[in-house]
Amino acid sequence: MGDSTKSLLQRIIRRIPSRAIESTLRKWGRLTAEQLQSIDFTQPKWTVTQELLDMCEEGNWTLKFITELEMSYIIDNPNQGMWYAYQLMNPEDDANSVELTQFKEQFKSHLKQLVRHISLKMKKHTDEAVWIRIAWGDRFFQPNHMKPTYAVHYLQTPYVFVTSLTSKHKPLFSQAMTLSTRYQAIKDANLSGRNLTAIRDLLMRQFQQAFPTKHPSPLAERNQTVSHPRIEKEQDGNAANRLELACEAFGGGTLPQLQSAVYKLETKFRDQTNKAMTEREESFKCIVKFASTNLLESLRHCASSGFASTPVTPLLSSISLKGKNYFVITDNSPGAASQPRRAQDK
């Protein structure tokens, strides 16, 4: 037991960048003031790791302590790894009144019924988010702490964000989640990214949105670059127009940091100049992937600078409006410009 604890501690420390080790340990709160003082954090990481391992040996730290450390680090630095968003569907009558203790108990008991050996940790964070750490085992093996699944559920919303969940464990997780939150089903929200805060903001619409207005005066105030009253820039009107439409499609201000969007197109090829292809029965299959360090910024810039024609096509604006970044487009999918703000399915 001691060996696996030490190797887990080693792995966790290796994952934390050197500059963050001291603050993480401080926040963890399991080390006494003297112990913290005794470690010289300017030493190379390997030496600091050794000192911590010695303390672990002396203090007989349990697996519980170490996993606490890992969880506290992940909660403070959630923007690593690949996060996937899920949405709960078809709430029961009492879904909206599920509160923290009830959710925790129910989730624990359901999951323990499904899996013999499991190590579960749940923690409520400040902003209504419940963080869950699951180390999976099975009938024959103890929980594997090296590859835990992390999940975040926002109470009273149908959203769950998960990372490192294998396809083997996915049905078990889904079942426990739906039962404990009093919903009937859970489905893939088709949104993924490296940045948890970004996909959360996008899905829960916590970013600055621009709504179509009749009088575009707010934007005019923003673009105050009048140098001389007699100088009139010809393209100003068009530019302001494009910017407004771009903001409507993607959002204003700072946008959540998405990395990519994938469109699987299965539509027919239609072109006036090419009769042979237009008459073809089968669809023209292709996959288009947009990638950037901040995808929504790039797309907004495309629209405001004229690379993309405005008004922005619903395919692109759906990223912000629907909070998705994986789409399958067929000839029957709704491509109409007017969409309800939160479509219930797809």
Give the footprint of another protein on this chain (CB under 8 A): 263, 265, 267, 269-271, 274, 276-277, 280, 282, 284-295, 297-299, 301-302, 305, 307-309, 312-313, 315-316, 329
What strands, in cross-sheet order, belong to the sheet with 118-124?
118-124, 129-136, 149-154, 159-163, 83-91, 183-193
- The CA distance from 346 to 188, in Å, is 10
- Comparing CB distances to another protein, the nearer of 286 and 343 is 286
What would the DSSP string read from start to end of 218-260?
HHHHHT-----TT---TTHHHHHHHHHHHHHHH-SSSPP---E
Nearest in space to 199 (alpha carbons), one of 81, 24, 334, 74: 81
Write a three-state SS string for 170-197. Answer: HHHHHHHHHHHHCEEEEEEEEEEECCHH
- Comparing CB distances to another protein, the nearer of 170 and 301 is 301
- Comparing CB distances to another protein, the nearer of 197 and 313 is 313
Looking at the DSSP assignment, which residues form a beta bridge with residue 236?
Answer: none
- Comparing CB distances to another protein, the nearer of 99 and 271 is 271
**Are 197 and 256 contacting, i.e. CB atoms less than 8 angstroms apart?**
yes
What is the smallest separation between the CB atom of 267 and another protein, expressed in angstroms?
7
Token couple for 330: 């067929």
How many beta carbons lie within 10 A of that of residue 230, not counting itself? 5
Position 294, amino acid = N
What is the smallest separation between the CB atom of 282 and another protein, expressed in angstroms?
8
- Comparing CB distances to another protein, the nearer of 44 and 253 is 253
- What φ, ψ does residue 45 adopt, rounded to 5°? -60, -35
**Are 73 and 12 contacting, i.e. CB atoms less than 8 angstroms apart?**
yes
What is the smallest separation between the CB atom of 200 and another protein, expressed in angstroms?
21
- The CA distance from 314 to 319, in Å, is 9
What is the smallest separation between the CB atom of 198 and another protein, expressed in angstroms?
14
- The CA distance from 110 to 184, in Å, is 15
**Are 122 and 153 contacting, i.e. CB atoms less than 8 angstroms apart?**
no
**Are 168 and 152 contacting, i.e. CB atoms less than 8 angstroms apart?**
no
What is the smallest separation between the CB atom of 299 and another protein, expressed in angstroms?
7
Measured over the CA atoms of residue 317, residue 318, residue 321 and residue 325, the dihedral's sign is negative
What is the smallest separation between the CB atom of 288 and another protein, expressed in angstroms?
5
- Comparing CB distances to another protein, the nearer of 122 and 249 is 249
CA 286 distance to own-chain centroid: 26
- Comparing CB distances to another protein, the nearer of 144 and 241 is 241
What is the smallest separation between the CB atom of 115 and another protein, expressed in angstroms?
39
- Comparing CB distances to another protein, the nearer of 82 and 286 is 286
What is the smallest separation between the CB atom of 304 and another protein, expressed in angstroms?
9
- The CA distance from 17 to 34, in Å, is 23
What is the smallest separation between the CB atom of 250 and another protein, expressed in angstroms?
12
- Comparing CB distances to another protein, the nearer of 157 and 283 is 283
